[in-house]
Amino acid sequence: MNEYGHSETEELIYGALKREYGEVWEKMDEEIVQKKIDASKKLYEIAVDDFRKNQSAFNYNILITAMLSLQYWNQKKTKLFSLTEDF
- Per residue in 24-80, pLDDT (tens digit) is 999 999 999 999 999 999 999 999 999 999 999 999 999 999 999 999 999 999 987
Q: What's the whole-model pTM score? A: 0.82
Contact (Cβ atoms closer than 8 angstroms) between residue 79 and residue 28:
yes
Say if 40 falls within a structural domain.
yes
Report in angstroms the alpha-carbon separations of 56 from 1, 44, 65. Answer: 21, 16, 14
Residue 64 structural domain: 27-79
14 located within any domain: no
- Domain presence at residue 7: no
- pLDDT score of 84: 56
Residue 18 lies in a domain: no
Overall domain count for the chain = 1
Backbone angles phi, psi at 31, to 5 degrees: -65, -40
- Residue 35 inside a domain? The answer is yes
